Amino acid sequence: MTTRQSIRCLLVANRGEIAVRILQATRETCPSIQTFALYTEDDRSHCDIGRPHRALQITSDGYLDIDLLVRLAQQHAIDAIHPGYGFLSESAEFAKRMQDAGITVIGPGWEILDRTGDKLKAKQLAQENNVPVLPTLDASADVKRIKDFADNVGYPIMIKAVDGGGGRGIRLVRQDEELESAVRASTAESPSKTVFVEKAAVDGFHHLEIQIVGDGIDVRHLWERDCSVQRRFQKVVEVAPSLIRDVNQELVNNVADAAVRIMKAISYRSLGTVEFLVNEQLGEFYFLEINPRIQVEHTITEAITGVDLVQAQLLIAQGYSLSEVGLGTESTAQGHSIQLRLCAEDPGANFSLSVGRITEFGVPTGNGVRIDTHVDMSGLSPVVVGAQFDNLLAKIIVTGSSTWEATVLKARRVLADTRISGVKTNLDLLRGILGHEDFLVGRIDTQWLEKHISHAVKLGGDISKSLQGPAQISRQSNAPSIPSSNILFRPGDSWSITVEPLDGQQNQTQQQKHHLQLTRVLQNDFPSAISAEVNYTTPTSASAYRLRLETTNTTAAALVSSHRRGDPRNPRHIVLPISGQLIEILVAPGDVVEENQVVAFVKQMKMELEVRSPRAGRAQWVYEMEDQEEDVADGILLVELEDELRGKL
């Protein structure tokens, strides 16, 4: 029997909606625990909603700084840390360092993390327990070896980071020409710079995952989730239970039994998920990976089983058995539940990150509707989306107690009544997916969204336009005009500006005083943007200007005038389509560039993206990087081609 070990002080080492979820669950389950949370200067809304006893400020990279987290825990007598998902949640090193410092990490322990967090080790574990796996080439970045493997098993194949997650480090390859760039991109997104290769199972396969809970002695499953609606291997919509059970219940049972068999073999203790690729028509399933942590989509399992998974995880970490947390017998799944991930991204710009301040956010409540979010519209901490963190704004969970069709209709209504302003989002995509006949009848596999994404976005856009009914338009037109900002700017407001050189430059330039006066406010969305007409006075001149200030996720160095702006209409210009971190430029002045050749790599939210040339030519001018990784704004000119390509390519 496991010894009870009560937690006194818990640090939630995460942010966003999952930090809110853990803080609230802790306050409900163990009110005596003193809770701590982390925040950065411009990202603390999860603290305002979750209300920890103490909030500790860090820099944006502090969530991954093990040394810092150990110091904070020791300074504040913290005896337990909940890493949530992402960040350090699957790091065996983090869990080991904390254990050595006498601090409990809520999870399965570093030994289990070491065996399950590595995808190759997890596949070996599955094989040892007679669970089917796909043909695999062990860790290798050798393009020739991978090509030989592909010739043997046949395309398509998957290049995967052994320690990737959330869609990062995964590339689907269908032909030889795609191999080199896919290996490079997957390797770059792997923390350990290690990738492996496996035969891809794509056509007709669903992505099913089994929710596992164990107490170190016994292991049980809480049924399955279907996560097949994916874009670039990132989940967009999840459902529980899977509709496969309507066609082949025995297959689902076999998958669940396989998951339990694997986790029992390692005496698993905590929450975890075992993922599979499943084809109900062929009656086949293959092990995919283990996630030894709480999942983003745990919500829909809670909805169909009535089990609070976060509370159960906290109690198990303190020595409670499955029976003592109410999981001593096999659970039943009732009804249907759908989770919709609302993200700040622009479907019209290849789903690039949309930055800015959330100025309006409203999701309807009601029977069967749950919202997990860190967006706080009370005005305490305005949510500003930047490039440092994940772009997930909210999880909308819709649950129906009767039929699947009734649940889909309820979800459509919820999306129809959802409002968000300030940034662009994937709301149209979500509306299009839920409005598609294929989704209603369950005709979905892992490739469905990639094949139908343009149609889904268009369908969602049409649905959004149809929602602009006369009543809504009339209400908007009659509403009084109020500024989006909480700060009221008025004509006549004035500021004195003192420009003083930094130390060491005193002898070169003297202090200067300038004056700025607003004469007309055109738009007030402060702090994300403000547009106004102003009088600007310096010691030598006075002029009237139209001024516009906008927040950006890039540094000032990315916006200086020495960076040329590109013209997307100019065929000679290769323009950066998104903001982010410029990692590498692959061409130099004078180089010949082929059509569709990769000319640069840019990183956004830990995903490495390619920038390709729209046509062939010779590079006349190339952007010069000042640092190894440089913050850049979208629209800058990367490469300028010559008017005509002289000579032969």
Number of domains in the chain: 5
Q: Determine how β-strand 80-82 pairs with β-strand 104-105.
A: parallel
Is 272 found in the same domain as 372? Answer: yes
- State what percent of residues in the chain have pLDDT above 90: 58
Query: Nearest-CA neighbor of 431 among 467, 391, 459?
Result: 459
pLDDT of residue 484: 52
pLDDT of residue 127: 96
CA 449 from centroid of its chain's CA atoms: 18
Is 240 found in the same domain as 177? Answer: no
CA atoms within 13 A on the CB side of 589: 5
The mean per-residue pLDDT over the stretch 133-155 comes to: 89
Residues 357-379 pLDDT 10s? 899 999 998 999 999 999 988 76
Is 511 found in the same domain as 428? Answer: no
Is 455 found in the same domain as 532? Answer: no
User: Domain boundary at 470, 486, 513, which?
Assistant: 470
Cβ contacts of 32 within 8 Å, gap of 6 or more: none
Angle, to 10 degrees, between the axis of helix 309-317 and the axis of helix 16-29?
60
Residue 507 lies in a domain: yes
Residue 145 lies in a domain: yes
Question: Which two three-digit tokens encode residue 97?
Answer: 């360092």
Distances (CA, A) of 415 to 125, 362, 418, 466: 41, 10, 5, 13
Residue 88 lies in a domain: yes
Cβ contact 312:271 at 8 Å: yes
Is 631 found in the same domain as 580? Answer: yes
First to last CA, the chain: 73
Give the helix/strand (H/E) hosting 310: helix 309-317
Question: What positions carry a catalytic annotation?
Answer: 235
- Count of CB atoms situated within 10 Å of the CB of 331: 18
Query: Nearest-CA neighbor of 358 among 418, 421, 417?
Result: 421
Residue 430 phi/psi, 5° resolution? -60, -45
Residue 124 lies in a domain: no
User: Domain boundary at 430, 455, 470, which?
Assistant: 470
Distances (CA, A) of 161 to 89, 167, 198, 621: 17, 10, 11, 35
Cβ contact 464:348 at 8 Å: no
Residue of higher predicted confidence among 458 and 186:
458
pLDDT of residue 482: 44
Position 647 confidence tier, pLDDT thresholds 50, 70, 90: very low
In DSSP terms, 612 is beta-bridged to: 598
pLDDT of residue 596: 85
Residues 96-120 pLDDT 10s? 999 999 999 999 999 999 999 889 9
Position 268 confidence tier, pLDDT thresholds 50, 70, 90: very high
Is 344 found in the same domain as 459? Answer: yes
Q: What is the pTM of this model?
A: 0.79
Is 530 found in the same domain as 437? Answer: no
Cβ contact 193:274 at 8 Å: no
Position 485 confidence tier, pLDDT thresholds 50, 70, 90: low
Distances (CA, A) of 367 to 254, 297, 337: 34, 20, 12
pLDDT of residue 430: 98
pLDDT of residue 497: 84
Cβ contact 622:585 at 8 Å: yes
Is 366 found in the same domain as 236? Answer: yes
Domain of 156, CATH number, reads 3.30.1490.20
Distances (CA, A) of 344 to 315, 426, 429, 470, 554: 34, 7, 12, 28, 17
Residue 561 clears pLDDT 50, i.e. is over it: no
Q: What integer best gives the mean pLDDT of the chain? A: 88
3-class DSSP state of 267: coil
Ramachandran class of 420: left when φ > 0, alpha when ψ lies in -120 to 50, beta otherwise:
beta
User: Domain boundary at 435, 470, 505, which?
Assistant: 470
Range of the domain at 459: 206-470
Residue 482 lies in a domain: no
The mean per-residue pLDDT over the stretch 77-104 comes to: 96
Residues 533-559 pLDDT 10s? 888 888 888 888 888 787 654 444 444
Strand segments, DSSP code E, in 23-138 are 34-39, 54-57, 80-82, 104-105, 136-137
Domain of 392, CATH number, reads 3.30.470.20
Is 308 found in the same domain as 425? Answer: yes
Strand segments, DSSP code E, in 260-310 are 269-279, 284-291
The mean per-residue pLDDT over the stretch 579-596 comes to: 87
Q: b/e string for 609-625 if b means 16 or more Cβ within 10 A?
A: bebebeeebbbeebbee
Residue 471 clears pLDDT 60, i.e. is over it: no
Question: Which two three-digit tokens encode residue 596?
Answer: 């569709």
pLDDT of residue 487: 61
Residue 606 clears pLDDT 70, i.e. is over it: no
Position 609 confidence tier, pLDDT thresholds 50, 70, 90: confident
Residue 116 lies in a domain: no
pLDDT of residue 354: 86
pLDDT of residue 343: 96
Q: Determine how β-strand 136-137 pairs with β-strand 630-632.
A: unpaired
Q: Determine how β-strand 136-137 pairs with β-strand 369-373.
A: unpaired
Is 535 found in the same domain as 428? Answer: no
pLDDT of residue 274: 98
Cα separation, 143 vs 182, in Å, equals 10
Residue 120 lies in a domain: no
Position 470 confidence tier, pLDDT thresholds 50, 70, 90: low
Cα separation, 448 vs 439, in Å, equals 10
CA 128 from centroid of its chain's CA atoms: 33
The mean per-residue pLDDT over the stretch 49-63 comes to: 95
Is 424 found in the same domain as 528? Answer: no
CA 150 from centroid of its chain's CA atoms: 31
Question: Which two three-digit tokens encode residue 227?
Answer: 């996560």
Residue 648 clears pLDDT 70, i.e. is over it: no
Cα separation, 405 vs 639, in Å, equals 51
Is 404 found in the same domain as 452? Answer: yes
Residue 4 lies in a domain: no
Q: Determine how β-strand 9-12 pairs with β-strand 80-82.
A: parallel
pLDDT of residue 77: 97
- Count of CB atoms situated within 10 Å of the CB of 433: 26
DSSP 8-state assignment for residue 560: S
3-class DSSP state of 305: helix
Q: b/e string for 462-476 if b means 16 or more Cβ within 10 A?
A: ebeeeeeeeeeeeee
The one-letter amino acid code at 286 reads Y
Domain of 81, CATH number, reads 3.40.50.20
Cα separation, 382 vs 56, in Å, equals 18
pLDDT of residue 185: 84
Ramachandran class of 362: left when φ > 0, alpha when ψ lies in -120 to 50, beta otherwise:
beta
The mean per-residue pLDDT over the stretch 141-153 comes to: 88
